[in-house]
Every structure is written in C-alpha cells, then in structure tokens.
Amino acid sequence: MKILITGASSGIGEELARVYASPQNKLILLARREERLKNLADELIPHAKSVEIIVADVTLFDELQEKIKLIGPVDMVILNAGISIGHSQSITPFKEFKKLYDVNLLSNHAILEILLPHFIAQKSGKIVFISSLASLISMPSAKAYSSSKRALNAYAEGIRYKFKNRGIKVVTILPGFIKSELTDKNSFHMPFLLSTEQGAQKIKHAIDKEKRFYAFPLRFYLIISLLNLLPQFLRDKIVNFIN
C-alpha cells in the first residue's frame, strides 16, 4: 500500500508512520520540519518497502498542490496535520484563527483536489480524516479549534456520501486527549489521556475495520454525547462550569 501521512513529524502522525512501517507499505511522510522527517525516515527505512519525505507547509496551498501532484496515485491518505492555538479566554486574533482553519480544514481539500481524481480512476482508496472529540462540543476557550474540526466532520461526511459507490472509503477519527506536542501545551487536567502509541493503535484498528466514524476513548465520547442530549440551558450551565 502507498500511504501519504500529513503531520508525520511528531505526535500521532509520527506514531502512525511507525505503525504502518511494514514490508508491504510505501510511506510518504509530510510536514515542515525536515530534520524530524529525515530522522523518522532513517528509523523506518529498514521496516518499510520505502519511505519518502515531503517537506511542505500545508498552508502554502499552491506549493503544496505542486508537491502532491508529484506523488501520483496513493492507496491511502491520512489527513492528520493539525494545530491548536491553546485555550484562551480572550478574543482570538483573526490571523491566528485563519491559520488554524487553513491547516485544520482547507489544506485537506487542497490535497484531495489532487488525489481524488486518482482515487476515482482506480475505483479504490482510503481517505482518513483526523478530527477530534472537541468537534462535538464547543468549549468557549477553544472555539476556533472546535469549529474547525466540526467543519472537518461535515466536509468528511460530504466526501463520504459523494464517493460511497465509487470504491472510496472515508474514515473519520475523533480522538480524545492523546499525548503529543499539541497536548503538552495544555496546563489543565486532561481526562482519559492516552499515550501516543495507544492512540495510534486505536486509529489503525478503526482504519483496518473501515469504520466510517470512530470516536474514542469510549467513556469520554459517551460523556460528551450525554451532555449533548441535555436541554440547552443545562448544557450551557455545565459547559460554563467546566470552562
């Protein structure tokens, strides 16, 4: 399998690269930090069929698309690159808000605009979106992140409906807290925090099973789902209390 993983230089993406490094798989690892990608490629070359790195900023859409064109068809893309701007009670500066949307949402369409015609032609392919449990509930302190991931869910759902009869599988993953550079910035208690290895294994399991929508850890997902079933006034009280 030829697999493109974005955001492969750290955290979940880096660990997914390890999990998919096997003699059958050709890995293409994309991120901005070249040194990190090179070190990871050196580590994985003995285990994988091949490892290629692409140094790219996913917000530089034209350059990104040129680089994706050079890859040609792939069997699976894991759209994992993502950022958070932390939790803040102040108004998010517009530039930061836009950057977050560029990375977490728009870069995915920039990539898929190039890859989808290949998937359609080969009548197969997997598209994996790494969303977040944060997409299911908007914390006042992380509106940009939550809303970008909720928009990503809607986008992923549209892609899934549109291509469901054309051999293209779409998997949307909603992780809770997983240890990474992104969560290392959080100073609050993170319930049900998983190690990066645990997170990557769960994500691989969901991809292998071709789950359309996979939210984990289950207990955290159930709590958020229950909260969403409450009447709005009660939910507002609880969210404000947590915030």
Ligand X SMILES: NC(=O)c1ccc[n+]([C@@H]2O[C@H](COP(=O)([O-])OP(=O)(O)OC[C@H]3O[C@@H](n4cnc5c(N)ncnc54)[C@H](OP(=O)(O)O)[C@@H]3O)[C@@H](O)[C@H]2O)c1
Q: Is 25 in the site for ligand X (CB under 6 A)?
A: no
Report the distance separating Cα 127 and Cα 79, nearest Å. 8
13 vs 19, 79, 121, CA distance in Å?
10, 9, 27
Q: Based on the residue annotation, tell me whether 221 is a catalytic residue of this protein.
A: no
Q: Which of residues 46-85 bind ligand X (CB under 6 A)?
A: 57-59, 80-83
Find the shortest distance in angstroms from Cβ 192 to ligand X.
Answer: 10
Q: Which stretch binds ligand X (CB under 6 A): 65-73, 116-124, 178-186, 216-224?
A: 178-186
The one catalytic residue in 20, 101, 145, 221 is 145
224 vs 10, 18, 26, 78, 149, CA distance in Å?
27, 31, 37, 25, 15
Beta bridge partners, 76, equal: 3, 126
Identify whether the C-beta of residue 83 lies closer than 8 Å to the C-beta of residue 99: yes
Beta bridge partners, 216, equal: 175
DSSP state of 188: S
Report the distance separating Cα 229 and Cα 234, nearest Å. 10
DSSP state of 78: E
Site track for ligand X across 181-200, x = CB under 6 A:
xxx-----------------
Nearest CB to ligand X, comparing residues 147 and 180: 180
Q: Is 135 in the site for ligand X (CB under 6 A)?
A: no
Site track for ligand X across 136-175, x = CB under 6 A:
---------------------------------------x
Residues that bind ligand X (CB under 6 A): 7-13, 31-33, 36, 57-59, 80-83, 103, 130, 132, 175, 177-178, 180-183
Residues with a known catalytic role = 145
